[in-house]
Amino acid sequence: MDAGEIVRLMNEEERATLHAVESAEGAIAQTAERAAAAFRRGGRVVYVGAGTSGRIATMDAAEMPPTFGVEPGSFVVVIAGGSDAGVKAVEDAEDDPGTSVEALNALGLNRDDVLIGLAASGTTPFVVAAVRHARQKGVWTCGIANNARTPLLEEADLGVFLDTGPEVLTGSTRLKAGTAQKLVLNRISTAAMVLNGKVVENLMVDVKAKNDKLRTRCARIVGDLTGASVAEARETLEENGWSIRAALERLNRPTY
């Protein structure tokens, strides 16, 4: 195949990814509701994964504080091989079920939390052991896998099966399986935050203004919600520590 044919084939195959996510809408929504409830009661959403799945979970969790203004510990990732595995492959770590249990115990996992385990195969010992251990502690669990009738789906309180089918490169789950997992986590974490009032209309009112780009975004959000000019929005934000909610209150557009 030439490059054009490869890209075309992959585009055709990726259609199965969105279909798989659409087919699991009900289970994804249930998981989002559980995550939202955990956040409301002060619990955490704990992702567990290995390899590609762990790196996808790491990416989703890292985006939560700047996007929704939550504390960094609200979304936690337990990844096989430890934090180094977020940026480089530590392939043998996924075969050790004991290390995930140790990591969860070190986190002080409790019934206020929810745990979401991800593994394309549905058999990864590190992830399956984590889900089993969490359930034994009375923690609600979700298992997300791309193979049907696998231990991860059976061990969890709720299984999310993503039927993405064989990969273009056999066994390369960073492709369709990984894309589907990322789409699912996007939906779970976003819906959980919307249900907790982190969004007004379709705007992120708790975004942290950590750089010029984000300060400009904050001013645009305040302007969109109040009709204030950019200059007035920036001035009000500066006077209120770049808190969008405080600026909206000052400009007579309260949030709840």
Structure tokens at 125: 């010992």
Confidence at residue 85, expressed as pLDDT on a 0 to 100 scale:
56
Residues with Cβ within 8 Å of residue 40, at least 6 apart in sequence: 196
* Residue 223 pLDDT grade (very low, low, confident, very high; cuts 50, 70, 90): very high
Q: What pLDDT band is residue 256 in, cutting at 50, 70 and 90? A: low
Does 63 participate in catalysis according to the annotation? yes
Which residue is it, tokens 């889900």?
Answer: 131
Q: Is the pLDDT of residue 234 over 90?
A: yes
Q: Is residue 86 over pLDDT 60?
A: no
Whether residue 182 is found in the same domain as residue 220: no
155 is catalytic: no
What average pLDDT does range 123-150 have in this prediction?
A: 97
pLDDT per residue over 8-63, tens digit each? 999 999 999 999 999 999 999 999 999 999 999 999 999 999 999 999 999 999 99
Q: Is 124 in the same domain as 15?
A: yes
Number of independent structural domains in the chain: 2
d(CA 22, CA 37): 23
- Span 139-156, mean pLDDT? 97
Do 104 and 46 touch, CB atoms closer than 8 A? Answer: yes
Note whether 180 and 238 are same-domain residues.
no
Structural domain containing residue 227:
199-250
Residue 36 sits in the same domain as residue 148 = yes
125 with 40, same domain? yes
125 and 156, same domain (yes or no): yes
Task: Give the chain's mean pLDDT.
Answer: 93
Domain containing residue 174: CATH number: 3.40.50.10490
Domain C-terminal end among 195, 222, 237: 195
pLDDT of residue 87: 56
> Do 50 and 167 fall within a single domain?
yes
The answer to whether residues 89 and 31 belong to one domain is: yes
Contact 32, 192 (CB under 8 A): yes
Q: Are residues 100 and 223 in the same domain?
A: no
CATH code, domain carrying 220: 1.10.8.1080
CA pair distance 123, 151, nearest whole angstrom:
6
Question: Which pLDDT does position 33 carry in this prediction?
Answer: 98
Does residue 72 fall inside a structural domain? yes
SS (HEC) of the chain? CCHHHHHHHHHHHHHHHHHHHHHCHHHHHHHHHHHHHHHHCCCCEEEEECHHHHHHHHHHHHHHHHHHCCCHHHEEEEECCCHHHHCCCCHHHHHCHHHHHHHHHHHCCCCCCEEEEECCCCCCHHHHHHHHHHHHCCCEEEEEECCCCCHHHHHCCEEEECCCCCCCCCCCCCCHHHHHHHHHHHHHHHHHHHHCCCEECCEECCCCCCCHHHHHHHHHHHHHHHCCCHHHHHHHHHHCCCCHHHHHHHCCCCCC
Q: What's the pLDDT band for 212 if we cut at 50, 70, 90?
A: very high
207 and 165 within one domain: no
Domain co-membership, 156 together with 185: yes
Phi and psi (nearest 5°) for 16?
A: -65, -25
Domain C-terminal end among 195, 212, 229:
195
Together in a domain, 24 and 148: yes
Q: What is the mean pLDDT of residues 128-143?
A: 98
Which pLDDT does position 91 carry in this prediction?
63
pLDDT of residue 161: 98
In a domain, 255, yes or no: no
- Please tell me which residue in 63, 232, 235, 249 is annotated as part of the active site: 63
- Domain membership of residue 39 (yes or no) is yes
